Amino acid sequence: MTRRKLLRSAVACAPALLLSQKTAAERPNVLFIASDDMNNNLGCYGHPMVKSPDLDRLASEGVRFDRAYCQYPVCGPSRVSLMTGLRPDTTKVFDNQIAVRDTMPDAVTLPQLFRTNGWHSVRAGKMYHMDVPGSVGTNKWDDPPSWDVSISPPGSEQHTKGEGRNITAGRRAGWHWVSFQGDGKDQADERATEIALETIAKTREKPWFLGLGYLRPHLPHVAPARFFDLYPLGSIQPVVNPPGDRDDIPRASEIAINTRANDMGMNEAEKKEAIRAYYASISYMDWQVGRVLDALEKQNLRRRTVVVFWGDHGWHLGEHHRWHKRSLFEESMRAPLIISAQGRRGNGKGCRSLVEFVDIFPTVAELGGLKPPPNLEGQSLVPLLDNPARPFKSAAFSTVTAPDGIRGHAVVTERHRYIRWTGPHPDEELFDHEKDPREYTNLARVPGKDALLKRMRGVLEAGWRAARAKV
């Protein structure tokens, strides 16, 4: 049977994939929350300044994954990979301007699996790629087979009335922020929350899968003034990189980051201003999440709702003088992941095991009592929901592409990160997280590391199949 016929068969037989014959009242709802350009700067992840009480609450009710890695540190490819449970080498999506059906017309997406099996599938906001702010309010690059209801709320974005400015105006890349009064009725995230609240209140005839996609903290950083007030400029300390930090960073890596390297030309005051706006956007998004969690409680639905929160990739705030994603450093590859399912023994705990975003699809499918398509390239995290301390994968993998055929492949193990760059500027990077957690010393340039380099090259070349958990 060809791969295409296999996938068509999976869709056609989807109603038969239920592991048990459950009634609508017994089958769980799924609240699937995405945050855009979200790094791990949250209170529940130990950040000393960021105020995120509602996500902290969610983490206390579920399992917080401390080492969750995306498969491509850019919005579109990461989201397609996550929503299909397939890695970029399989999806062939290496750019933002590609929809899932462009390369995989017969793919079975996560919400599509639930929809075909009787769940009411709703999208409110950004779940697949959406240019921000350019295509906010449009359905560009969305996936109609995934949803019964699909809404991209419009928003004022950088045109919001309030106090603000573009910190880096006139330079190659902008950093725009706006602080406004009120709650933001003209904001896409506010409108997405309202759609979510309506869905929760009115959907009773069948279980629902709600994809709730928030734009914040993606640029432009737009948030109510009260969230900016949480972060006085004098209390913010920009990252201090050691002298010569960029001397051992490969040329290919610098090309990949493009216009957001070299601190974007910002001085210390501007860096503080930029960080403050990012933090305010996080707290605004967190408040929206809290409203939805409160609605679940009010409707007595919390116990029968699986809640998943994820950021599509990380984000640099000055590390290695970078202010972007699109790198294979820790800050860009790692992103938050919280899964809360009632009755799991690991709830309220953190998990240090290596996990990947391709693992989310099989996990949520299992929690819903569904058998996923047989071609998925991740593993269910359900065993970690009951025992977060158990061993899992031995490595996590990510990739990124850049102009002129540049491509980077990264592998992270318990202690090390190895990066191989191919194309016109071939090179290597190797970091020891135990001795150098901020990845300032590229050991591939240090004499005497041949044995370690050989071992890590072998891990990368063996690939994700060799790193699978023994379950």
Burial class (CB in 10 A: 0-12, 13-18, 19+), 163: exposed
Select from 41, 62, 38 the least CA-distant residue to 52.
41
* pLDDT recorded at residue 17: 41
> In which order are the strands placed within the sheet that holds 176-180?
163-166, 176-180, 221-224
Mean pLDDT of 447-467: 98
Cα 244 to Cα 279, 327, 422: the distances in Å are 28, 19, 24
324, two tokens = 């972007």
Task: Kindly tell me if the per-residue pLDDT of 3 is higher than 50.
Answer: no
Which segments within 291-395 are labelled E, that is strand? 305-311, 337-340, 350-351, 355-356
Mean pLDDT of 403-427: 98
CATH of 29-386, one of 3.40.720.10, 3.40.50.2300, 1.10.760.10, 3.30.70.940: 3.40.720.10
* pLDDT recorded at residue 173: 83
* pLDDT recorded at residue 16: 36
Tens digits of residue pLDDT in 45-66: 999 999 999 999 999 999 999 9
Beta-bridge partners for 32: 211, 308
If one counts every other C-beta atom within 10 angstroms of the C-beta of residue 415, the result is 11
**C-alpha gyration radius of the chain:** 21
Task: Kindly tell me if the per-residue pLDDT of 8 is higher than 70.
Answer: no
Task: Kindly tell me if the per-residue pLDDT of 427 is higher than 60.
Answer: yes
Spatial neighbors of 185 by CB under 8 A, at least 6 apart, are 191
Residue type, 80: V
The least confident of 17-26, 208-217, 414-423 is 17-26
Task: Kindly tell me if the per-residue pLDDT of 453 is higher than 90.
Answer: yes
Contact 30, 38 (CB under 8 A): no
Contact 132, 160 (CB under 8 A): no
Share of the chain above pLDDT 70, in %: 95
Tens digits of residue pLDDT in 248-293: 999 999 999 988 999 999 999 999 999 999 999 999 999 999 999 9
* pLDDT recorded at residue 24: 56
Mean pLDDT of 334-354: 98
Global pTM? 0.95
Return the ∠ at Cα 125 (arms to 121 and 130), rounded to 5°.
Answer: 115
* pLDDT recorded at residue 10: 43
Residue with tokens 């037989």: 13
Beta-bridge partners for 352: none
Catalytic residues: 75, 129
Confidence of residue 23 (pLDDT cuts 50, 70, 90): low
Tens digits of residue pLDDT in 180-223: 999 999 999 999 999 999 999 999 889 999 999 999 999 999 99
Cα 218 to Cα 38, 158, 278, 283: the distances in Å are 8, 12, 8, 13
Burial class (CB in 10 A: 0-12, 13-18, 19+), 155: buried
Instruction: List the chain domain ranges.
Output: 29-386
The least confident of 5-19, 113-127, 226-240, 381-395 is 5-19
* pLDDT recorded at residue 11: 44
DSSP per residue, 370-408: BPPPTT--S---HHHHH-TTS--BS-EEEEEEEGGGEEE
28, two tokens = 């769980």
Spatial neighbors of 244 by CB under 8 A, at least 6 apart, are none
Share of the chain above pLDDT 90, in %: 92
Contact 450, 469 (CB under 8 A): no
Beta pairing class for 350-351 and 68-69: unpaired
Q: Is the dihedral of CA 224, 173, 128, 142 positive or negative?
A: positive
Q: Is the dihedral of CA 384, 388, 392, 394 positive or negative?
A: positive
Confidence of residue 171 (pLDDT cuts 50, 70, 90): confident
Spatial neighbors of 253 by CB under 8 A, at least 6 apart, are 327, 328, 408, 419, 421, 427, 429
Return the ∠ at Cα 258 (arms to 256 and 262), rounded to 5°.
Answer: 115
Confidence of residue 22 (pLDDT cuts 50, 70, 90): low
Q: Is the dihedral of CA 130, 357, 412, 419 positive or negative?
A: negative
Select from 83, 61, 57 the least CA-distant residue to 70.
83
Q: How many whole angstroms separate alpha carbon 24 and alpha carbon 7?
A: 26
Mean pLDDT of 22-36: 86
* pLDDT recorded at residue 450: 97
* pLDDT recorded at residue 258: 85
Spatial neighbors of 358 by CB under 8 A, at least 6 apart, are 71, 81, 82, 85, 86, 87, 376, 377, 378
Select from 310, 281, 278, 389 the least CA-distant residue to 82.
310
CA atoms within a 13 Å half-sphere pointing along the CA-CB vector of 64: 18
